[in-house]
Structure formats: structure tokens, C-alpha cells
Amino acid sequence: MLKFYLNRELSTRLGIPLGRWKRWSREFLPPDPLGGHQSGYARQYSMKDAFYVYLAGYLVSAMGFSIPEARQILNDLNGWLKKNIIENYDAVIDAENYPNLGGPRIDLMIIPVQRKTLPAFTYRIRSLIERKPFSEGDSAIWQEQFTEQIIKPGEPLKKGCYPAYARWVNMSVIVGHFLLRLKSEEK
């Protein structure tokens, strides 16, 4: 069943002040097709729309991106988000063992690039497949296997280049927190 959420409901569940949530939704979503302030209809959010606003708000408030930069990031990652995050909501929501939300750990690295039209970014997305511990005395050593996908609407980077100003986002934690907060109130 398709569920829709209202501003106040999302604001309360996600712990975001209502005014801030509304401002983010105006910045990061297209205009509401059912009307605006004077139509008498409250905006209804699908899970996809709510997640886009939540992610964009996180990029602005916690990661320090500007509104235009966060808008560009969402635009660049739109196809990847739909395929890898949004289409998997139903499987995650219906799963019985809720602590293992979202499956493998997914890290997103956002790297600014030099380009005439700013903002421009290159993205590296890592999905952890397996992590094995090895014990070497008192030191903890881990072996990890992961897949890496590069989305580069900006200039190509040299292989293995990890500039110091790249910002990392643990997408698994973001998605897990978002879904747990929405699910916890529905019971």
C-alpha cells in the first residue's frame, strides 16, 4: 500500500523543526501539483520525496553544502538513488529483522572538481561485500571486499586519487535512520 505523509507528520517523526522541513521541501522538490499556500491542500509526500528532502537537508545541515550544491548532488545522483535506494524500500520495510536495514554498508564520497560551471562533483560509491577480522597481536586488522562505482559528471579523476576535501556520507546509516524513524511511529 502506498503511504503519503504530511509536513507536520514528517517533521515530528524525523525530529526536524517544521519550518526547516518546509523550507527544505520548497528548495529541493518541484512545486506541489495540487496547489500552493492558497489552494487549501496540504502537500503530501511519497516515501521517495520525503527521502530526497531528508537527504538534501542532511547534506546542507550536517555536511555543510550550500543549497545549490545539495540540489546539484541530488540531480547527479538521481538515477543511482532510484535504482539502489528507493526501489529497495519495500524489501527493507517488509523485512522481519529490522536491525539489518539496507543490507550492505554503502559509503558515498563526494569530491568537488574543477569545472567552469559550478558546483560540479565526482562521486565514488562503495558497497561493502565482506569484512573479515585478522588478529595480529594487539592490533585489529581487517580485510574488506567492496564494489566501487564512479559517477563523474565532473572532470575525470586519476585512478586512486582521494583528495583531502572529499566528504564521506554513510548512506546505510542515513537510509536506516530515515526508515526507522518513519516505521517506529506506524506500529
Per residue in 115-169, pLDDT tens? 666 778 889 899 888 878 877 778 888 787 888 888 876 555 455 555 557 899 9
Please state the length of the chain: 187
Task: For the full predicted model, state whether its pTM sits above 0.85.
Answer: no
Q: How far apart are CA 84 and CA 171, in angstroms?
A: 11
Q: What pLDDT, on a 0 to 100 scale, did the predictor assign at position 12? A: 94
Q: What pLDDT, on a 0 to 100 scale, did the predictor assign at position 89? A: 60
pLDDT tens-digit map of 91-104: 554 444 444 444 56
Q: How far apart are CA 171 and CA 169, in angstroms?
A: 6
Grid-cell match 559550478, residue found: 118
pLDDT tens-digit map of 30-73: 888 776 666 667 888 988 999 999 999 999 999 999 999 999 99
Q: How far apart are CA 154 and CA 119, in angstroms?
A: 9
